[in-house]
Amino acid sequence: MDRLKIATVWLGGCSGCHMSLLDLDEWLFELAKVADVVYGPLVDTKEYPAAADVCLVEGAVANTEHVELMHQIRQRTRVLVAFGDCAVTGNVTALRNPLGSAAPVLERAYLDPANLRPALPHEPGVVPPLLDRVLPLQEAVPVDFYLPGCPPPADRIKAFLQELLAGKAPHLTGANLRFG
């Protein structure tokens, strides 16, 4: 069997889901026997590969670059997983949505502290503008599976990946469907 190509991405989120993935500890060696991690915060590659089997997407879609990246990733990925509550619902990243636009959060952080040379970030082509409304992953691209949790506990990630590795569609039940 060909080795599975697994990618991970970190959009608007805290990296806690990636930390939970690393909490799989020695099971990561089992994973490394059958799969390569081809892209993500733990890999030095700058470009998403032409084809990946599975991509775990942590975080919500919060800026224009996230949207572009996700369109590219969706085209190049067989199985796309919303990994953790921010990807599934928007969660903490989307707490700014009731404010109506990105302006209030930017102004509070960059203009209100007047002792810090107040200026809004403006680096065209480098710093991507925030979306006015943070999106859960499935509002940006079609999602194949949902893996909830803030973060998903390591055991839940393991159970999920084991089913995927066995060629089955992961089906979480009971406590494994919990948010938070």
Partner 1 sequence: MPQWIKIDPVTRIEGHAKITLQLDDNGHVSDARFHVVEFRGFEKFCEGRPFTEMPGITPRVCGICPVSHVLASAKAGDALLAVDIPPAARKLRRLMNLGQILQSHALSFFHLSAPDLLLGWETPPVNGTSSG
Q: How far is the CB of 175 from partner 1 (least distance, A)?
A: 19
Nearer to partner 1, 27 or 144 (CB): 27
Closest CA to 82 of 163, 162, 170, 1: 170
Residue type, position 37, single letter: V
| Residues ≥6 apart with Cβ < 8 Å to 161 | 31
Nearer to partner 1, 17 or 172 (CB): 17
Structure tokens at 128: 């991507």
Site string for partner 1, 29-68 (x = CB under 8 A): x-xx---xxx--xxxxxx---------------xx-x---
Q: How far is the CB of 43 from partner 1 (least distance, A)?
A: 6
Residue type, position 62, single letter: A
Among 34, 72, 101, 104, binds partner 1 (CB under 8 A): 104
CA-based R_g, the chain, Å: 17
| Residues ≥6 apart with Cβ < 8 Å to 82 | 57, 88, 136, 137, 138, 143, 145, 146, 147
CB 13 within 8 A of CB 57: no
Q: How far is the CB of 134 from partner 1 (least distance, A)?
A: 8
Tell me which residues in 105-164 interact with partner 1 (CB under 8 A).
105-106, 108-109, 112, 121, 123, 126-128, 130, 150-151
Burial, 30: exposed, middle or buried (Cβ in 10 Å; 0-12, 13-18, 19+)? Answer: middle
Among 70, 88, 93, 152, binds partner 1 (CB under 8 A): 93
> Is 14 among the residues that bind partner 1 (CB under 8 A)?
yes
Positions in the binding site for partner 1 (CB under 8 A): 10, 12-20, 22, 28-29, 31-32, 36-38, 41-46, 62-63, 65, 91-93, 95-96, 99, 102, 104-106, 108-109, 112, 121, 123, 126-128, 130, 150-151
